[in-house]
Chains A and B, each alone.
Chain A
């Protein structure tokens, strides 16, 4: 019976916890959907423990310094509370141990501004409650830890009931799972378990998958399992990390006979991904240390509170660690610097992290499909757009209803009006359709085409949106037309039938179409000029003009396409 432990033994327990946790790090990462699904809880907790155990032996200070992420900081606070409670003793018994756990739990809870039940906090709470109760009669550490571990595991199982986001994802809380692993590891080392034997051996994962499948097949006589297996093996082979979670879940569902077909499996995968794709409200994970005596923790906390969430402010006598999810990292540092000397500044772009995590998980079949719809006034232009993968609406100024007809799928829609007047109808249509999508405000035909070229089905919708908007800025548009009536534009008087050029709202009257085009080419800067000739322009005339341009402005590139637009003899894009 082990009825007393000293500091060295306590350290051994932590080492056991660390080893167990680090062997399951990826698994814990995969569970991570709360507070932000960035898939790093396992890594963070592991790093925190590792930091605490390395160096000069000051577990509390070292783990606080090494702490990363919410769960890491909570863990380091737990350790601080624990150690502070027993620091004055050489040896502790089960009662001291239970009280220390209680203190650890209190410290961890106090570190968080808004403790949420269904997380590691709840698991710690139940573990400490059990510790206190059980220490009243148990003198043996092994029995005590067994009870605590059991209580923690039971609570962990209930986390999905307490936190809906976990239930949606079909997972338990990642931090809670990490804590359970630490308890397990501690128990193992207490029993002098050889951890190396306990870790799942590195046999081929594929073999493992096949064997399990075969046994399930035999038991349930379900067909299609081979296909599911193929599917999973394919994902695994493509070096996609972290499919363990999906796989384990699939296995348990198969065992419960809930999944029998590939479509159900896919549906399940989509559900997982939809949770992982939750929009991030605050973009940056910010941490720093503030050095200095007597820092007013509460006032600091209150000052940064309006700027983000997941706030943690924890302290030792000489330093304070601040953690927050925010959109204004600079402001946070500025505030902190007023309380003491700043150190170890750390900013992480969670969107990027999340993005990496998600893309690593996605199989081709669960990608979001995207679709580009462009509004163009000529048949030639529409053909060009279609050749580049867009759906084209032939119209100068479509009604909301016309656009609406194209917003019929579950895809993500990019609507390119390619005409300033068509922007309102596009926006209205998208709003009415309640489909997901965005209007890229291309005001001219060359802008619309440039945006379409910038679209890449391989990218995420938000990246495409950004690239398409950027592309619009790179292109300039000039037009040649024949005035339909007499008119006055500022200083310029235009008669009916006059040939005019329009560039940047500057209007000029010309003697010939050729002169108008040459004038535009001179004014619009660019390397490559793309001319779309309209329905009223003869092909031969356009081709003659192209030859003249190539000859007389030989340092530039010119390309000519049939656009088929009404009113405008030529629409010219320069980029």
Chain B
């Protein structure tokens, strides 16, 4: 059976990680020189709000090699965050090459991070759990990648800016009025999605986008992941609002992993949706 490996930057509900037997590796996490890998979100955001600057590192090749070798399978699909955002994809390629005599590892670049990556991992794992071969699983992974969209609302873009990963999203910086910057991904990189003044405008903008994608893919229903760094309420409002309009196959709300929080900062939230059907 194909087994799925990913990093903990993939935001997936914990219950499903177990259910679909997904192996999640922890990205190293630091405050200054102090390693705090695996820290609880509460503790993490408390320290961030106190002004400490966190940082992460890519998944070490050694950890990937160990994991690939120890998994009880002959085929692994290793799914990672955008290769334009992190060297993890390359680490995985190197690791896959090193273990190729023992186990076949296919490495996949989602071109996304956090919830979007989570959706791709989750759907691939569901497919793998049906005992499909690597070819079918990978084609599922590709299909989901071609449809999934992630939009994040990030009140404070400085975390992303300092990390050097904001890319074209820089156009959203510097506004002398209070705005909520929104980003999405294109070609593996961050691009501006829009700037709004209020949460309800942000939600409307997201729903507009879902409507467009619904029509584009002639979709019938959605699978949705909603995530937040510190404020859960907005996700529930968004859930209510999209349930009113769209047919929802599955929806989960989760707190984003600290390794993602490093880049999004407190107050951020977002959605990843996968339009299904036809």
Contact = CB atoms under 8 A, between A and B. Distances in A.
Interface of A: 238-239, 352, 383-384, 387-389, 449, 453-454, 456-458, 467, 474, 527-528, 530, 557, 559, 561, 575
B175 A388 contact: yes
Given A384-B176, A387-B174, A454-B194, 9 more contacts: A239-B187, A383-B176, A387-B175, A388-B176, A388-B179, A456-B194, A458-B191, A559-B178, A561-B177
B198 interface: yes
B244 to A, nearest CB: 19
B241 interface: no
B243 interface: no
B196 interface: yes
B193 A557 contact: no
A459 B6 CA distance: 32
A449 B177 CA distance: 10
B247 interface: no
Contacts of B186: 458
A533 to B, nearest CB: 14
A111 B118 CA distance: 51
B198 A575 contact: yes
- Please list the 4 inter-chain residue pairs (A to B) with the smallest Cβ-Cβ separation, ordered nearest first: A387-B176, A384-B176, A458-B191, A388-B175
B168 A561 contact: no
Interface in B194-226: 194-198, 200-201, 216
B193 A456 contact: yes
A389 B200 CA distance: 24
B171 A457 contact: yes
B192 interface: yes
A527 B198 contact: yes
Given A238-B187, A453-B197, A557-B198, A458 B176 contact: no
A388 B192 contact: no
B194 A388 contact: no
Interface in B142-201: 168, 171, 174-179, 186-188, 191-198, 200-201
A491 B178 CA distance: 39
A210 B177 CA distance: 50
A528 B201 CA distance: 11
A282 B216 CA distance: 19
Q: Which of A239, A388, A449, A557 has the most CB of B within 10 A?
A: A388
B272 to A, nearest CB: 19
Contacts of A467: 194
A458 B195 CA distance: 12
Chain A's interface: helix, strand, loop or mixed, by majority? mixed
A44 B179 CA distance: 46
28 contacts: A238-B187, A383-B176, A384-B176, A387-B175, A387-B176, A388-B174, A388-B175, A388-B176, A388-B177, A389-B171, A449-B177, A453-B195, A453-B196, A454-B194, A456-B192, A456-B193, A456-B194, A457-B168, A457-B171, A458-B168, A458-B186, A458-B191, A458-B192, A467-B194, A527-B198, A528-B197, A530-B177, A559-B177
A521 to B, nearest CB: 16
A389 to B, nearest CB: 6
A557 B179 CA distance: 13
Contacts of A352: 216
Contacts of A575: 197-198, 201
B128 to A, nearest CB: 23
A388 B200 CA distance: 21
A63 B194 CA distance: 46
A405 to B, nearest CB: 24
A575 B216 CA distance: 30
A528 B198 contact: yes
Interface of B: 168, 171, 174-179, 186-188, 191-198, 200-201, 216
B168 to A, nearest CB: 7
A557 B188 CA distance: 36
Contacts of B175: 384, 387-388
Contacts of A561: 176-177
Contacts of A530: 177, 197
A238 B186 CA distance: 10
Nearest to A388: B175
A349 B171 CA distance: 31
A542 to B, nearest CB: 15
Contacts of A387: 174-177
B151 to A, nearest CB: 12
B177 to A, nearest CB: 6
A449 B187 CA distance: 30
B145 to A, nearest CB: 10
A389 B175 CA distance: 8
Nearest to B216: A352
Nearest to A352: B216
A384 B195 CA distance: 14
A454 to B, nearest CB: 7
B179 A453 contact: yes
A388 B179 CA distance: 10
Counting chain B CB atoms within 10 Å of each CB, which of A467, A528, A557 scores highest? Answer: A528
Nearest to A457: B171
B89 to A, nearest CB: 13
A467 B196 CA distance: 12
A474 B192 CA distance: 21
Nearest to B196: A453
B181 to A, nearest CB: 10
Contacts of A559: 177-178
A561 B171 CA distance: 21
B194 A527 contact: no
Contacts of A527: 198, 200
Nearest to B83: A237
A467 B208 CA distance: 11
A226 B196 CA distance: 44
Contacts of B193: 456, 458
A561 B191 CA distance: 28
Nearest to B212: A352
Nearest to A380: B176
Contacts of B177: 384, 387-388, 449, 530, 559, 561
B64 to A, nearest CB: 23
Nearest to A474: B201
A212 to B, nearest CB: 25
A239 B176 CA distance: 37
Nearest to B189: A238
A387 B201 CA distance: 21
Contacts of A456: 171, 192-194
Contacts of B176: 383-384, 387-388, 561
Contacts of B178: 559
Contacts of B191: 458
Given A530-B177, A559-B178, A457 B200 contact: no
Nearest to A450: B197
Nearest to B186: A458
Contacts of A389: 171
A316 B201 CA distance: 54
Nearest to B195: A453
Contacts of A453: 179, 195-197
A235 B177 CA distance: 37
A453 B195 CA distance: 6
A388 B187 CA distance: 25
A352 B216 CA distance: 9
A421 B202 CA distance: 32
Contacts of B194: 454, 456, 467
Contacts of B195: 388, 453
A146 B262 CA distance: 66
B81 to A, nearest CB: 16
A458 B184 CA distance: 11
A74 B58 CA distance: 55
